A = this chain, B = another copy of it.
Amino acid sequence: MRRKLTQRGKDRRRQLMEHAAELFAERGYHPTSVSDIVESLGVGKGVFYWYFSSKEELLAEILRESHQDLRRRQQQAIGDEPNPVMRIELGIRATIEWFLEHRKYFTLFQFAASDERFAPVLRRNHDVAIADAVRHIKEAIVDGLVADQNPEMLAEAIVGACNQLTRTYVFDRHEPVDRTTEAAVSFCLHGIVGK
């Protein structure tokens, strides 16, 4: 990898990342070789090692950038909504929608979570996501909208429930996203509000 990238270089980099992400998601990280990536793109192997110092670094980079993108989407969806519970709902909806449009990253996050080498990156992403949710939950507790429980645990539970519903209905069974989203929102809001 070199420092100075022209526009052409930046485009190639993006192209490599997007394409690699698709292959990784389809066949898995380890079974997808660097040769697979460059060959299906019709370029030489040297191109890969011009932009990335290793296959490992490539995936780490993909994980970082895609999570940034998801977060941007969440913040955009939340806007300046004043009600913290509503902000959580909007966040949930935005997340499910984003994964629907970027299916490949779902599998990727999942694989990375099972590999020690990517744990640091993934953990950082996860911490950021939880911290975001915790901020809203704390505010909701202060406002008396949500049961006074450990906000971090509530945040983790929300993330877990949404991910599972998304995986099963949106990816495995290809059912319409609407009902899944409604179920996720309903379950999570009742779960945090606590009768």
Contacts and interface: CB of A to CB of B under 8 A. Distances in A.
Given A111-B114, A191-B187, A157 B161 contact: yes
Contacts of A179: 150, 153
Interface in A159-176: 159-165, 167-169, 172
A114 B172 contact: no
B187 A157 contact: yes
Contact of A161 (B30, B160, B172, B195): B160
A140 to B, nearest CB: 14
A156 B26 CA distance: 24
Main secondary structure of the interface of A (DSSP, over half): helix
Size band of the A side of the interface? Answer: 35 or more
A116 to B, nearest CB: 7
B164 A159 contact: yes
A89 to B, nearest CB: 14
Interface of A: 26-31, 107-108, 110-111, 113-117, 123, 126, 149-150, 153-154, 156-165, 167-169, 172, 179-180, 183-184, 186-188, 190-195
